[in-house]
Structure 1
Amino acid sequence: MSRTKRVVAASTVGLMALTVAACGGDKNDSSGSSGGGAVIMGTTEPVQSLDPAKTYDLGSWTVIYNTFQTLLTYEAGAKEYSPDAAEKCSFGDPKTFTCTLKSGQKFSDGSDLTAEDVAFSIKRVVKIADPTGASTLFGSMQSVEAKDAKTVVFHLKRPDATFPQVLTTGAAAIVPSDKPDVYPADKVSAVSKSIGSGVYTLDKYKPKQLASFIANKEYKGNRKPKAKQFVLQFFSQESTLKQAVENGKVDVAYGKLSPTTLDAIGKEKSKGVSVVQGAGADIRYLTFNVKSKPVDNKAVRQAFAQVLDRDAIAKNVYNGNVTPLYSMVPQGVAGATQAFKDKYGAPSKDKAAGILKKAKVKTPVSIDLWSSPEKYGAVTTDEFTEIKRQLEATGLFKVKLDTSAWEQFQKAAFDEDQYPVFGLGWYPDFPDSDNYSSPFLRDGGYFTNNYKNAAVNKQLDKELASSDAKVREAAFAEIQKITAEDVPLLPVWQGKQNGVVRDGVTGVQDTFDPSYIFRFWLVGKGKK
């Protein structure tokens, strides 16, 4: 995602014959009703805005996913997208994508939802192009039009296999076109109000304090909320959130929960709390500026990769709350391989020494390794200290650890080529291998690390232009193989989604999947 919004937390799936037809709701939808008691969830993820045109962050998109509809969506646990507001969508040709809306849909104020609203919503995001928004996700779109009341047509600049997945994101949330006081066509909303067609509607909002939602009586979809009211309470400190869930002030805790906190709560069942986990798709990785010494030498990068012990990092630093990552594409996403494990195997000082000796590189190799604990949390310092320990234990490297504030970090690393090796993270826009490939590997990536490989670009073009899963997976396999050989990037770990729940709270684990859509409607309170 954009480097300032979801870099820890851009690109462009099916073409010619791809068709998405309407289907049922989430696998757990039928188990609930809107008669459940209120659920209070505490979170450390702030909401930057209620306006889809200004959002590109996890906290804001969580609100949007629950109060708005998009044409397409990811149901809980699904690996493929499916219709939401759309009845069906398909490519008529590689550059024309058409969606037909379901009948009878309404916004929370009772007004009809039409194709004109869809076209207006997308045009608005692109026109406003707010720097904190996600307008760049529509980079492959030439134009969008409402052909009639139920039909919307997207015209693309180029074939784009991931365009349907862009329509699952918060950037594609559908707002009413006839409410300029709330959603003006050319500027971000100036009011703390929300008019959507999602499962819930916003009832009360106090920035940085709370957001309260009630079941949307106008919602026409298949999702049945287990709780008729859902409340988000915002916390600036993890320690305060931990106390709130332990004391029963909140039913669920979700957000940036440290390994120490999760480990401590895991031992506190007597307090009526427990940790729940699910699949995640956020990643942490190291970036090499391939024009900066000494990592301009591929042998140095390969030797670094050869000695990195991901298992030790996961165990010693994160208490097992992350998973070792051997490709930029995380496990659970279609097309993922373990290319680095295939090439380098287990960490080996001897193999690393052999790589450096063959390339006539003098040892120890001095390397500056940069991180931003301000962005990624205090545990980042422990992680990079562990990496330094591993490298220096071989006698092949001498490592200097450096840190900087996030604003300075971006400028120095991305724009000024000052950092030879630096750590970053990534949350996906949507769970597709391209979203872990194009933003990083095409012509230097969003962080401009000076890596360019024509063979990689060719494979990226191939997967973007194809609707054939086998063609795309073959292209991604080759991309990951080349990445492991050239090492412009070094994957370190893959995150898990973690939450803390009070006894009697159900459904949180059901919503954890690589799409990062936290589905309020699946969460309820009652006896287990």
Structure 2
Amino acid sequence: MNRKTLALSAAVGLLIPALAACGGSDSGSKGGGAIVVGTTDRFAATKDQPAPLDPAYTYDTNAWNLLRQTIQTLMTQPKGEGTPVPEAAQSCSFSDNGSERYVCKLREGLRFANGDDVTAADVKYSIERSLHINADTGVASLLNTIDTIETQGDREVIFHLKTADATFPYKLSTPVAGIVNPKDYPENKLREGFDVDGSGPYTFKAEVKDNVIAGITYVKNPLYKGSLKVNNNEVDMRVFKDSDSMGAAIDKGNIDVMTRTMTPAQIQDLDAGRDKNVDLVEMSGLEIRYLGFNTDAPRVKSKAVRQAIAQLINRGELVSKVYGTEAEPLYSLVPATITGHSNSFFNKYGNPSAAKAKDLLTKAGIATPVKLTLHYTTDHYGTATKQEFEVLQKQLNDSGLFDASVQGHPWDQFRPAEKNGQYDVYGMGWFPDFPDADNFLAPFLDEHNFLGSPYSNTEIEHTLIPDSRREADRLAAAKSLTRIQDIVADDVPVLPLWQGKQYVAARDDITGVAYAVNSSSVLQLWELRHGVSG
């Protein structure tokens, strides 16, 4: 049996960064029963983030993939490539030539898991709730082209947009547009804690210890009506403290599927056939990693400092030393496989050069070495992140132009501090909300961006982003998209580093693994089942 499988039909997909897991038997799912999934991801409710699973609040791929199993959306992204298809909706389409009026008709007989009917009024309530709450995560910005929402009867919803938005069907497939029951989700207040209720394929129950999720059980929702075929009755998720303990669990058969985060060494071992009972599925990745800058912070406020960092970073060396064949250098926020990609950073800076970086700083009158701290999260993107930042630190310091240190923080501390502007330079990752260049640009550069960045460019916000969204043919948007990427390379409010592949490991009696994620890193647990792999 091949130890590694390339997931072709989901090839542009990537495994989500994802889940918190659940209790259950230590015997995995031998003999049938629940499919047991492992992860090292962590979910906590804190004073700064009291509502980590409210769709009006969370803007994190990990949390989104918990919600997608329970909260239904009008549209859904398919398990392979392609445009969104109806889910809670029976049909959705633009009703004008200008992409400014979008009409959806709900399926008949939709019900929440508690038995309440799902109506057009509930859809309107849910989306308006996200807009009105306007959480500081920036997630409501995905819906910012909506002007008004009207309903006709119990099954028709009409969206009137402020401006043309060819990407709007994609946005209706994201959890911020999820349909919630007004009984469970107050209109002007976030739902705190870890309760999730909806009309999706599963019900959700979390085991919580000390305000942290210790496990999740998903049980098939008997009232679910939608486009998804649910191939199992229960999925249990288990959280592990680290990748090694998760790897030991799949070796012993205590879990069936291993998701994030596997270390590069684990991936190499599985690829080499270390365990004959475990298959490794490789998926082309849309995940990107980048450095963000607080452009108001004194030490990086000068564009010359940010440009000098861009001129020094050796992406090839970084990828080779830390990730090997599991990543590749990235010279734009837009991944190389997405329509509209441009190698803007390479075009501007070329190969790394200390001499060119020194010239940039000298011309700007910047005294060297520039003292910086590079901040990263210790428990959100995998254990290799620490090594990655040590390589970045060495590259900067070896030039003699910077005196850089590194500092790691747990995610539940890191993310609030980053949003509050406490870090001058910080490392983040991005998994797309949908596979379009707009979603690798607007969330970082539009008004109310999710980073909370003070950087603002009027041309990008008021001309280029709107112009690109008018083009239903995304190739026709390339001129505007390229211009955005060139401005980013010049101003460097963010600095792209690499684009990654994604992997999932599963015991060989689990099928559907190649479809368990789609092109936008959406976890699709309903695709998994017990069986005999080929």
**Which residue, 51, 58, 81 being the options, matches 2:84?**
81
Contact 2:431/2:520 (<8 A) preserved? no
Q: Calculate percent identity across the aligned residue pairs.
A: 34
Structure 2 vs 1, CA of residues 196 and 422 (structure 1 numbering), >3 Å: closer, same or farther?
closer
Shift of residue 74, structure 1, vs aligned partner: 0.7
Partner of 2:178: 173
Task: Please tell me whether residue 58 in structure 1 is matched to residue 58 in structure 2.
Answer: no
1:38 to 28, 31, 34: 34
2:532 is paired with a residue whose SS is coil
Once the two structures are TM-superposed, the CA of residue 130 in structure 1 deviates from its matched residue by: 6.0
Find the counterpart in structure 1 of residue 199 from structure 2: 197
Structure 1 position 352, deviation (Å): 4.7
Aligned to 2:250: 245
Report the residue type matching 1:78 in the other structure: E
Separation (CA, whole Å) in 1 of partners of 2:511 and 2:188:
42
Q: Distance in 1 between matches of 2:54 and 2:439?
A: 24
Question: Is this contact kept in 1: 2:358–2:401, CA < 8 A?
Answer: no
Number of corresponding residues = 489
> In structure 1, what residue type is equivalent to 2:233?
K
* Aligned equivalent of 2:146: 141
Aligned CA distance change for structure 1 residues 386 and 187 (closer, same or farther; 3 Å): closer
Equivalent residue for 1:206? 207
Give the superposition deviation at 1:84: 1.5
The answer to whether 1:492 aligns with 2:497 is yes
Question: TM-score when scaled to structure 2?
Answer: 0.79
Aligned to 2:375: 371
Partner residue of 1:5?
none
- Taking the TM superposition and a 5 Å limit, the aligned residue runs for 1:10-49 are 38-46=34-42
Q: 1:309 aligns with which of 299, 302, 314?
A: 314
Q: 1:121 to 1:444 in 2, by over 3 A?
A: closer
Q: For residue 368 of structure 1, what is the amino acid of its counterpart?
A: L
Q: For residues 259 and 100 of structure 1, do their structure 2 counterparts lie closer, same or farther at Cα, with a shift above 3 Å needed? A: same
Output the CA distance in 1 between the equivalents of 2:298 and 2:53.
Answer: 45
Asked if residue 461 in structure 1 is aligned to residue 444 in structure 2, the reply is no
Is residue 402 of structure 2 the alignment partner of residue 398 of structure 1?
Answer: yes
Task: Tell me, yes or no, if the aligned pair for 2:279 and 2:508 is still in contact at 8 Å.
Answer: yes
Would the aligned equivalents of 2:341 and 2:437 in 1 still touch at CA under 8 Å?
yes
Does structure 1 conserve the Cα–Cα contact (< 8 Å) formed by 2:138 and 2:450? no
State the SS of the aligned residue for 1:116: helix
Tell me how far 1:364 sits from its aligned partner: 5.5
SS of residue matched to 1:269: coil
Distance 1:297 1:63, change over 3 A: closer
Give the conservation status (yes or no) of the 8 Å contact 2:164–2:466.
no
Q: Are 1:258 and 2:282 matched, yes or no?
A: no
C-alpha deviation, 1:302, in angstroms: 3.6
Q: Distance in 2 between matches of 1:401 and 1:130?
A: 32
Deviation, structure 1 residue 250: 0.6
CA distance, structure 2, for counterparts of residue 191 and residue 475 of structure 1: 41
Which is further off, 335-344 or 88-97? 88-97
C-alpha offsets along residues 377-409 of structure 1, whole Å, 9 cap, x if unaligned?
A: 55333212212333344x452332142646776
Q: How does 1:121-160 map to 2 (within 5 A)?
A: 121-127=126-132, 134-160=139-165
- Alpha carbons 1:391, 1:398 under 8 Å: kept: yes
User: Matches of 1:172 and 1:247 in 2, distance apart?
Assistant: 40
Shift of 1:332: 3.1
Distance in structure 2 (CA, Å) of the matches to 1:133 and 1:474 = 27
For residues 272 and 445 of structure 1, the distance between their equivalents in structure 2, rounded to whole angstroms, comes to 45
Change over 3 Å in CA distance of 1:351–1:247 after alignment to 2: same
Shift in CA distance, 133/195, structure 1 to aligned 2, threshold 3 Å: farther
Task: List per-residue Cα deviations over 1:107-144 (Å, max 9, x = no partner).
Answer: 44555433223223223444555667944543443432
For structure 2, the residue ranges without an aligned partner over 5 or more in a row are 1-16, 19-30, 45-51
Q: Distance in 1 between matches of 2:432 and 2:178?
A: 17
- My pick for the range that moved more, 256-265 or 131-140, is 131-140
Amino acid across the alignment from 1:254: T
Q: Counterpart amino acid of 1:244?
A: A
Aligned alpha-carbon RMSD (Å): 3.6
Q: Pick from 331, 339, 353: which aligns with 1:326?
A: 331
Structure 1 residues 280 and 146: CA distance shift in structure 2, 3 A? same
- Whether the aligned pair in 2 keeps the contact of 1:245 and 1:253 (CA below 8 Å) is yes
Tell me how far apart the structure 2 counterparts of residues 356 and 228 of structure 1 sit (CA, whole Å). Answer: 61
The match for 1:98 is: 103
Distance across 2 between alignment mates of 1:257 and 1:338: 29
Assess if the C-alpha contact under 8 Å between 1:428 and 1:435 holds in 2.
yes
Aligned partners of 1:422 and 1:141: how far apart in 2?
Answer: 32
Q: Is the 8 A contact 1:72 1:167 kept in 2?
A: yes
Point out the more displaced range, 214-223 or 278-287: 214-223
The answer to whether structure 1 residue 437 and structure 2 residue 433 are counterparts is no
Residue 237 of structure 1: how far off its partner (Å): 3.5
- Decide whether aligned partners of structure 1 residues 481 and 231 sit closer, same or farther in structure 2, where only a CA change above 3 A counts: same
Cα 1:410/1:58, change in 2 over 3 Å = closer
Q: Quick check: 2:34–2:234 contact (8 Å CA) kept in 1?
A: yes
Decide which moves more: 431-440 or 101-110. Answer: 101-110
Q: SS of 1:431's equivalent?
A: coil
Quote the Cα distance in structure 2 between the aligned partners of 1:346 and 1:133: 35
User: Which AA in structure 2 matches 1:460?
Assistant: I
SS at structure 1 position matched to 2:487:
helix
Q: 2:3 maps to what in 1?
A: none
What amino acid does structure 1 have at the position aligned with 2:87? D
The equivalent residue for 1:18 is none
Distance 1:396 1:236, change over 3 A: closer
Tell me how far apart the structure 1 counterparts of residues 220 and 259 of structure 2 sit (CA, whole Å): 21
Q: Which residue of 1 aligns with 2:14?
A: none
Q: CA deviation at 1:224?
A: 2.5
> How far does the alpha carbon of each residue in 1:1-42 deviate from its partner, in whole angstroms, 9 at most, with x for none?
xxxxxxx99xxxxxxxxxxxxxxxxxxxxxxxxx98531112
Counterpart amino acid of residue 206 in structure 1? E
Give me the whole-angstrom Cα distance separating, in 2, the residues matched to 1:98 and 1:275: 42
Work out the CA distance in 2 between the residues paired with 1:418 and 1:188.
Answer: 27
Bigger shift: residues 51-60 or 325-334: 51-60
Structure 1 residues 55-64 or 512-521, which shifts more?
Answer: 55-64
- Identify if the C-alpha distance between structure 1 residues 133 and 199 changes in structure 2 by more than 3 Å, giving closer, same or farther: farther
Distance 1:275 1:343, change over 3 A: same
